[in-house]
């Protein structure tokens, strides 16, 4: 992969990370409910999900998912169901006034936040389709593939770590201003609704012929 090719891909990574999606919703939800320091662990999970997608494509499983309608449909509905479940959980969350202090007992542990983030990106077949459709355009078959895939994974991970940090920080700033129970309830239901919408959109997603 030449420097010019990498720069082009790196710019694409920023556009991908900045585009609204389940990952951005999850990051903001984590920031809202847990503050920046704890909520940022969700981002680590999201990045691990991206790396999982890269491994799936490299291992050839992505080609199977892309070629098999059954495999694609199963993964799609698993991902959609998970997002809807998260939406319902967020909708029903406590309306206790939120604080950014790390001394308060969190609703989710750091490990749970990481696992949730991982599940969101790892079970999203749109990510697999993207990898299969876009990534090959930046791969030079005349050179070793492993280092190139490593660069791709690192580039995607870096941009997501930065962009999602912004989403978490934005929500955690809002968090400090939300002290009244009805404010918390409104925000929980907004994010819960967004998760359900994202899950519904994923369930209706169809690959291009």
pLDDT, tens only, 124-161: 776 776 677 667 667 776 788 788 888 989 998 999 99
Please tell me the predicted confidence (pLDDT) of residue 67.
65
Please tell me the predicted confidence (pLDDT) of residue 98.
45
pLDDT, tens only, 9-35: 888 788 777 766 788 888 888 888 888
Mean pLDDT of 69-77: 74
**Which structure tokens are listed for 187?**
């925000």
Instruction: Tell me: pLDDT of 76 over 80.
Output: no
Q: What is the pTM of this model?
A: 0.68
Contacts of 33 (CB under 8 A, 6+ apart): 39, 93, 98, 106, 107, 108, 175
Q: Classify residue 182 by burial, with Cβ atoms within 10 Å: 0-12, 13-18, 19+.
A: exposed
Please tell me the predicted confidence (pLDDT) of residue 99.
43
**Which structure tokens are listed for 197?**
């919408």
pLDDT, tens only, 34-70: 888 888 999 999 999 999 988 887 777 556 666 677 7
| CA angle, 141 then 146 then 147, to 5° | 95
Segment among 11-15, 72-76, 113-117 with least mean pLDDT: 72-76
């Amino acid at each position: 992969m030449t420097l010019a090719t990498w720069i082009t891909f790196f710019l694409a990574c920023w556009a991908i990370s900045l585009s609204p999606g389940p990952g951005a919703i999850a990051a903001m939800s984590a920031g809202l409910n847990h503050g920046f320091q704890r909520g940022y662990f969700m981002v680590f999970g999201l990045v691990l999900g991206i790396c999982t997608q890269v491994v799936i494509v490299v291992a050839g499983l992505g080609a199977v998912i892309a070629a098999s309608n059954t495999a694609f449909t199963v993964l799609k509905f698993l991902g959609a169901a998970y997002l809807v479940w998260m939406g319902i959980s967020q909708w029903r969350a406590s309306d206790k006034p939120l604080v950014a202090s790390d001394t308060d007992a969190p609703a989710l542990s750091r490990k749970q936040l990481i696992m949730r983030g991982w599940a969101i990106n790892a079970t999203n077949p749109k990510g697999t389709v993207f990898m299969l459709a876009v990534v090959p355009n930046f791969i030079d078959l005349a050179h070793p593939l492993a280092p190139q895939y490593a660069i791709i994974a690192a580039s995607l991970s870096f941009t997501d770590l930065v962009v999602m940090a912004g989403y978490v920080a934005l929500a955690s700033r809002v968090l400090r201003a939300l002290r009244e129970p009805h404010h918390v309830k409104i925000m929980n239901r907004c994010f819960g609704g967004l998760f359900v919408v994202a899950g519904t959109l994923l369930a209706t997603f169809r690959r291009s012929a």
